[in-house]
Amino acid sequence: MISGIECVTLGVRDLDGALGLFRDVFGYRVESDTRASVSLLSVWGLRPYADVRLVELSCDGYAFGRLRLAQFPDEGPATRDDFGPAAPDAPTAAGPKALDLYVAPPMSAALDVAVRSGCMLRAGPVRFAVRDTETEEALLTGPARLPLLLMVGHRHPKRAQREVPPPGRTSEVATVSVVTADLDATRRFYVDGLGLTADGVDDELHGDDRARVCRLLGVPEDTRVSLVLFRDPAQPSGKVLAVHFHDRTTPTLAHAMRPGNLGISLFSTRCPNLEALRERLESAGTREHLPILHVALGDGMPARTMLARGPNGELFEFIER
């Protein structure tokens, strides 16, 4: 019913400052710089005629894994804030966890660039293996408390990684990681509802690999961790990685994803038939969705859109051109 995630909307306090990181340092290209239309503001539940600047960025024009920076006039809370002693969210709280971006080896050079550009290193790097994949990862905090996971794919199949970015730059959003409290409901939503596959990674971690991932994600090293990767078989990017902490998963984030939040606020993807998608989602158990509405997008072209919330608080914007 859908392809991979085409765009992730990020609420930011300082849009020009965020551009300084994603455009000037990470190497993203500006595809559009617009204001949200009245119809889009209505769909998003924001004030009519609010001045919301939207800047869409791509990795060399690639259609998937784009970023849409949004500067909202009424600054909301961060969708996820799980680092530090006063953080309102636990690292194990169900909901979006991080944006995962590939970098060129060595990891130390990529981390040096990110930290010098204002990101804060939280954990890692750690190196671990899952099936035929060996990866090195580090977790950072970026603009507006945004969790960013940088990855070096030491042994990644082509279905998972489009290309190795040039030194000093990052890839598109290869994966969005989401903590899930109910893995069965998550499978129904992504496979039965959205039509994605789970044929790449579907494993519980053990031994040293589990301990390393636990250190990376800020949870006790004896925590059970299962990973399931949901993807469009035709696309190596825009994937969703469900992270399940079994009996240690905690309730959802203090602030669910929504436009107006800082950090991760919306996942967007196209769909050729919204009525058919709605029927599939309802058959898969999804009831939390809004009506299909007409909207003017940033390029001025008319479209129809539907918002739907996944079992872990994910908020999707499905667009029919």
pLDDT digits (tens, 9 = 90+) for 242-256: 999 999 999 889 999
Residue 293 confidence (pLDDT): 83
pLDDT band at 169 (very low <50, low <70, confident <90, very high): very high
Q: Are 2 and 194 in contact (CB under 8 A)?
A: yes
Tokens 């979006």 label which residue?
96
* Cα separation, 79 vs 67, whole angstroms: 16
Domain regions of the chain by residue span:
7-78+256-320, 95-248
* Cα separation, 55 vs 65, whole angstroms: 14
Cβ-based neighbour number of residue 294 at 10 Å? 11
Name the pTM for this structure.
0.95
Has residue 297 got a pLDDT over 80?
Answer: no
- Of the options 3.30.700.30, 3.60.15.10, 3.10.180.10, 2.40.50.140, the CATH number for the domain spanning 95-248: 3.10.180.10
Q: How far is CA 81 from CA 78, 183, 220, 256, 279, in A?
A: 6, 23, 18, 11, 34
- Residue 84 burial (10 A CB sphere; 0-12, 13-18, 19+): exposed
CATH 3.40.50.720, domain 7-78+256-320, yes or no: no
